[in-house]
Amino acid sequence: MVRVNMGNVVWEMADVPKEYERLGGRGLTSTFVAREVNPLCHPLGANNKLVIAPGILTGTTAPCTVRISVGAKSPLTGGIKESNCSGIAGQKLARLGLAAVVLEGKPKTENLHVIHISKEGVTIHCMDELKGKGNYEVAAALKKKYGNHVGVVSIGPAGEMLMSAATIAMTDQDGLPVRQAARGGMGAVMGSKGVKAIVIDDTGAPRTVSAASGEAFKKTVKGFATAIAQRPRVKEGLAKYGTARLIAFANEVNALPTRNFSSGQFEGVGRISGEALADIIDARGGKRGHACYPGCVVRCSNVYMDKEGKYLTAALEYETIGMLGSNCGIDDLDIIATLDHLCDDYGLDTIELGGSIGVAMEAGVLSFSDGSRAIELLHEIGKGTPLGRILGNGVAITGKVFGVTRVPAIKRQGMPAWDPRTAMATGLTVMTSPQGADHTAGRVPGIREFDFFKPGTTAPLSLGMQLRVCVMDTVGLCMFADGTPESTEWLVKLLSAFYNQEVSSDDLVELGKRIFETERNFNLAAGISRVEDRLPEFMTMEPLPPTKSLFTVTQDEIDETFSSLKYQKIKLSETEGEHLI
């Protein structure tokens, strides 16, 4: 692993300590942060450390193993944070044989640096000319300088200005900085280290990370890839409409955040659904079924063109449309795509920003549905005006500054686009995850076998999924590779072949528990107790219109499940996936 101390602007190549062996991704970043970062340190100070680590299988030929995790103490939540994304950086780092890149210390100057990592080692360049530049310009400039083949990991102005909603952008296979480790303000931590970008050049590195048992691995890879590609959810859903296909579904079941979580259904849903998105993309010559990294079998990404048929943004996704769209009362995909583009460029989390703007709308700073004013506000964030800084610091801060009581945040992180009053199991994940309000920590799709309204069912399901996701995020496997009853078996086979040593599904559960507990313990030491595993008060007081749904899992069930870690094993079934919540 590479450790870069930005206090003295020096780096060293260090062995991976024993404690991090057989870890990657979230497992590595969270273990690292728990071991090396004082839970009471200031997230933007000298004692926080930013860890960037590809998953265990990232860089291998295994399908959908592309994720790269970024970890640190979060300036947004004040707790431990892991935020992962795809793009090409993870694979390149893994191919270079690097388990992690660590940024530590506090710069003594105001200079902005670019770190170049290749087979030859590390060089650190002062590049003040990139100050204030957006991620698109940064990626283009660095590709021009270092070659089109490099992976770029960068921050926009939001990260430089240390805003808690700042992301870290990573380039995709088109070289665009549209894959973002978005949640929890990791971009601000990178900014606090005086690092604008990390360039990863894997020239001369092996083309793939190889497994200990090559043949068995190859065979498993092939079988798993076929299984994923043939699933109707992938073939008919993700590859055609991307994640946006869930907009209509979420609306139908009353879970689509609308006007700052004041309704679960949006009258403009027809204009922002996956189908509407597909029509626009097709009409303007955009792309659907786009892969975010070379060779992906799921291909959930897309490329969105503007009215003139010019590139506007890539991967307009469910969460972005839900949070910057319906949650702000905005039903115009061109506006939502523009907001998405600005978020990517300034380096801002679209979920957090959708929440911030929704709360600002609730406060009367602008009206619900006022898309042009929302675009202006994004530019204010880019400029760092006081109003821009408020919004760029996220939902909870925006609520606090404007004295709003309806603030959709848990552990100071803005809630994703699944209203927990309907999506109760996912809601429970959002409530209880050590990561703060985060659906990717364990979104629980509807499963026919389980009646979510039966007492004792929902909490163990949420926990089961959270432990599962801890493992996926450690392996580097995309969540869309999951979702069949056989997923766990495939993963067990892959890891066994990778290590050439038997790994059982029980081992995986133990790994998941270890990571989950490591994160919870860090939070406890940082002052975040289980008392914060709660919905915002307004959601407990307001049944969600129009169906008046209300979160009904009892506090006893939650407490019992999450103190004992008694989880429900999840056998995901394919077809029911989207029909129940």
For the chain, the residue count is 581
CB of 386 to a second copy, least distance (A): 4
The only residue of 402, 456, 521, 573 in contact with a second copy, by rule CB under 8 A:
402
CA distances (Å), origin 211, targets 19, 58, 103, 218, 352: 21, 11, 29, 9, 38
CB of 565 to a second copy, least distance (A): 21
Interface positions, 225-264, toward a second copy (CB under 8 A): none
CB of 407 to a second copy, least distance (A): 8
CB of 511 to a second copy, least distance (A): 28
- CA 430 to CA 565: how far, in whole Å? 16
Interface positions, 536-575, toward a second copy (CB under 8 A): 536-538, 541
- CA 377 to CA 355: how far, in whole Å? 13
Sort residue 273 into left (φ over 0), alpha (ψ -120 to 50) or beta.
beta
Decide: is 524 part of the binding site for a second copy (CB under 8 A).
yes
Which residues are 569's β-sheet partners? none
437 or 491: CB nearest a second copy: 437
- CA 432 to CA 72: how far, in whole Å? 19
CB of 353 to a second copy, least distance (A): 15
CB of 405 to a second copy, least distance (A): 4
Decide: is 526 part of the binding site for a second copy (CB under 8 A).
yes
Burial class (CB in 10 A: 0-12, 13-18, 19+), 386: exposed
Backbone angles phi, psi at 383, to 5 degrees: -85, -15
159 or 460: CB nearest a second copy: 159
46 or 565: CB nearest a second copy: 46
CA angle 50, 521, 463 (to 5 degrees): 100
What residue has token string 């971009």?
187
Q: Return contacts of 167-171, CB within 8 angstroms, 24+ apart.
A: 167/83, 167/343, 167/347, 167/348, 167/349, 168/70, 168/83, 168/347, 169/135, 169/139, 169/344, 169/347, 170/68, 170/85, 170/86, 170/87, 170/88, 170/89, 170/90, 171/87, 171/88, 171/89, 171/139, 171/143
Residue of 219, 166, 215 whose CA lies nearest to 188: 166
158 or 178: CB nearest a second copy: 158
- CA 519 to CA 76: how far, in whole Å? 16
CB of 230 to a second copy, least distance (A): 47
Decide: is 393 part of the binding site for a second copy (CB under 8 A).
yes
**Which residues 6+ apart lie within 8 Å of 506 measured at CB?**
none
Decide: is 364 part of the binding site for a second copy (CB under 8 A).
no
The only residue of 111, 369, 385, 573 in contact with a second copy, by rule CB under 8 A:
385
405 or 564: CB nearest a second copy: 405
161 or 544: CB nearest a second copy: 161
CB of 244 to a second copy, least distance (A): 33
Contact 422, 549 (CB under 8 A): yes
CB of 312 to a second copy, least distance (A): 29
323 or 397: CB nearest a second copy: 397
Q: Considering only the stretches 272-280, 455-463, 467-475, 523-531, report the one whose residues sit in contact with a second copy under the rule CB under 8 A.
A: 523-531
CB of 519 to a second copy, least distance (A): 16
- CA 300 to CA 157: how far, in whole Å? 28
3-class SS of residue 341? helix
Interface positions, 187-206, toward a second copy (CB under 8 A): 188, 192
H helical segments located in 246-287: 246-252, 269-272, 274-283
CB of 529 to a second copy, least distance (A): 6
Number of other CB atoms surrounding residue 502 within 10 Å: 9
Decide: is 383 part of the binding site for a second copy (CB under 8 A).
no
240 or 530: CB nearest a second copy: 530
The only residue of 270, 485, 527, 546 in contact with a second copy, by rule CB under 8 A:
527
176 or 360: CB nearest a second copy: 360
**Cα atoms in the 13 Å half-sphere on the side-chain side of 532:** 20
Query: How many residues sit in the footprint of a second copy (CB under 8 A)?
Result: 41
Interface positions, 141-180, toward a second copy (CB under 8 A): 161-164
Interface positions, 29-68, toward a second copy (CB under 8 A): 39-42, 44-47
Backbone angles phi, psi at 211, to 5 degrees: -90, 155
Residues at the site binding a second copy, with contacts judged by CB under 8 A: 39-42, 44-47, 75, 161-164, 188, 192, 385-387, 389-390, 393, 397, 400-403, 405, 407, 524-529, 531-532, 534, 536-538, 541
